[in-house]
Amino acid sequence: MFDEFNREVFACGQQIFKAGDAGDCAYLIEEGTVEIIIVDQGLERRVSLIGKGEMFGEVALIDHQPRTATVRAVEKAVLVPIRRKLVEELLEKSDPILRHLLLVTLERFRNKQSSPAGPAASTKSSQEQAIRRIALKGEATQNLSLAHGITRALTHDEFKLYYQPICNLSDGHLAGFEALIRWHHPMNGMIQPMEFLWLAEQTGLIREIGLWTLERACRDWPTLRQYTDYDEPFVSVNLSATQLTSESLVDDVKAIIACHNMPATELKLELTETVMVERPEIASQILNRLIELGCSLALDDYGTGHSGLDHLQRYPIGTLKIDRAFIAPMLESAQSQEIVRSSIALAHSLGMNVVAEGIETKGVGAKLLEMKCNFGQGWHFGKPAALHDLALCYAKKIA
Ligand code: C2E
Ligand code: CA
Ligand code: CA
């Protein structure tokens, strides 16, 4: 194995690379032992000792960032360098599923290494951050009053549904909208969903909020629909993990769309991978029944969660939404760009269309179009807005 590769030999104590060096290759240890060292508050600390058959420096294969650790031979070491250029050439030729799997795994490994508090901290969702923020601020009584506030908001019509345009990347035309909830609090002004949905989820109030959102989106759809000339227009509604395990969800959706004469094919339901991981059997049953009704499904925040390839194949998902975390830095980060490229290829190979979230500039939109991404959502196309503000914006265009 690796016969055609050159070897590099390092003497005992010799440095192979140091933290801060530019790195363009990984090393496979053919003989000998090396130590991995990090510098912590000015002091060197050995974090591991690895030997024959093991590999180090592999993050450099996709990451154009400087090395994060120093590596030294602790005895004579014979190493097989595996250059990034070669790996890129091989990846380019490889099966899109394998390529994607490798990139996601390396990305996760990199997060694990670069996060000061370890893997958990680097993958914390904004929702978890909101939980921490509120928990730090105010403890139980505050949460109780927030829960009361949510209940009051439901009965006093304080929730509002905003809509954000989703556009066809090839011609910029409006294809549909995503419905996003806002809380117009009588004392505290506008409250963003991340600030209260986590508690709604914990208290079960999310079911009522979910029904309210679905009902409002279907009620507003005839107005919104006039603003698009796309041949398959849609409104996307977010479903929480709790809603997705509710026995009554399918009947509720059926009743709401019937009440508003909403064509089921124009209702897209967005879900994240959480539910598929935690309750796969129930999720599969419910999702199939929603498809039977005629609705379509979108997998939201792709790339931030478990990103198991089996979810994509196992569930009847028509749309993959790539998370903003990968889209926003795309032009500066070759790694994000590669993850986006491989996600698009993967989705297309599974017959799905792709929405890129968080497009803030024309340049990012153009790059995504070049990568054959189907749809875009983000401030470049429009921020979420209330129905009457959208009317001011789009009514002129259809007049
Ligand atoms: P999401 O489903 O990923 O929604 C996209 C979020 O990205 C929205 O945040 C949107 O305002 C924001 N966004 C869109 N384009 C851009 C951009 O170009 N730049 C930046 N910086 N941000 C952009 P929002 O409205 O705060 O919603 C946050 C999350 O709350 C949503 O994330 C969704 O998970 C949840 N959510 C919102 N409404 C509902 C709802 O009615 N039901 C449920 N279950 N969840 C909801
Ligand atoms: Ca969403
Ligand atoms: Ca999303």
Q: Which of these ranges, 7-11, 139-143, 308-312, 370-374, has the smallest mean pLDDT? A: 139-143
The mean pLDDT value for 100-128 works out to: 52
Radius of gyration over every alpha carbon of the chain, rounded to an integer in angstroms:
25
Tell which residue, 369, 280, 309, has the closest CA to residue 105.
Answer: 309
For residue 251, pLDDT over 90 is answered with yes
pLDDT tens per residue across span 264-299: 999 999 998 887 777 788 888 899 999 999 999 999
**Which two three-digit tokens encode residue 195?**
């600030």
Quote the pLDDT of residue 307.
60
Pairing of the two strands 319-322 and 353-356: parallel
Cα–Cα dist 249/383, whole Å = 29
Gap between the Cα atoms of 377 and 355, Å rounded: 7
Whole-number percent of the chain with pLDDT over 70: 84
pLDDT per position as a tens digit, 148-180? 889 889 999 999 999 999 999 999 999 999 999
More confident site: 384 or 138: 384
Report the SS3 class of residue 174: strand
CATH topology of domain 151-398: TIM Barrel (3.20.20)
Region 389-393: what's the mean pLDDT? 87
User: Contact 363/331 with Cβ under 8 angstroms?
Assistant: yes
Closest CA to 152 of 209, 211, 234, 75: 209
Per-residue pLDDT tens for 168-216?
A: 999 999 999 999 999 999 888 999 999 999 888 877 889 999 999 999 9
Q: What is the mean pLDDT of residues 312-335?
A: 91
Return the minimum-mean-pLDDT range out of 49-53, 129-133, 363-367. Answer: 129-133
Query: Domain 8-120 is in which class?
Result: mainly beta
Q: Where are the domains positioned within the chain?
A: 8-120, 151-398
Residue-averaged pLDDT of the chain = 85
C-alpha 180 to ligand 1 mean position (Å): 6
Q: Write the DSSP string, 294-340.
A: T-EEEEEEETSS---HHHHHHS---EEEE-HHHHTTTTT-HHHHHHH
Query: Candidates 125, 162, 177, 180: which one to mutate for ligand 1, based on the most atoms within 8 Å of Cβ?
Result: 180
Residue 354 has pLDDT above 50, yes or no: yes
pLDDT at residue 74, rounded to an integer: 92
Q: For residue 72, is pLDDT > 50?
A: yes
φ and ψ of 309, to 5 deg = -65, -30
Report the b/e string of 368-397 with b at 16+ CB within 10 A.
bbebebbbbbbebbbebbebeebeeebeee
Q: Can you tell me the distance from the alpha carbon of 72 to that of 77, in angstroms, rounded to the nearest whole number?
A: 9
Residues with Cβ within 8 Å of 388's Cβ and at least 6 positions away in sequence, in order, are: none
Q: Is pLDDT of 99 > 60?
A: yes
Ligand nearest to the CA of 271: 2
d(Cα 248, Cα 229) in Å, to the nearest integer?
Answer: 34
First to last CA, the chain: 69
pLDDT at 38: 86
pLDDT exceeds cutoff 60 at 31: yes
Residue 116, SS3? Answer: coil
- Closest residue CA from atom 25 of ligand 1: 180
Is the confidence at residue 138, as pLDDT, over 50? no
In the reported structure, the alpha carbon of residue 386 is separated from the centroid of ligand 1 by a whole-number distance in angstroms of 14
Amino acid 333 reads S
Closest ligand 1 atom to Cα of 359: 18
pLDDT score of 93: 73
* Centre of ligand 2 from the C-alpha of residue 100, in Å: 22
With CA atoms as reference, report the closest residue to 216 among 270, 175, 256.
256
**Torsion, CA 281, CA 283, CA 284, CA 286, rounded to 10:** 120
**pLDDT over threshold 50, residue 35:** yes
Q: How far is the CA of 207 from the centre of ligand 1 (A)?
A: 18
Report which protein residue has its CA nearest ligand 1's atom 11: 384
Which of 125, 167, 238 is the pocket-test mutation for ligand 1 (most atoms within 8 Å of CB)?
238
Q: Which residues line ligand 1 (CB under 6 A)?
A: 164, 180-181, 192-194, 197, 210, 213, 238, 240, 300-301, 324, 357-360, 377-379, 384
Q: Which bound ligand lies closest to the C-alpha atom of 125?
A: 1
Dist. CA 56–CA 27, nearest whole Å: 5
Residue 311: predicted pLDDT: 73
DSSP label of 264: G
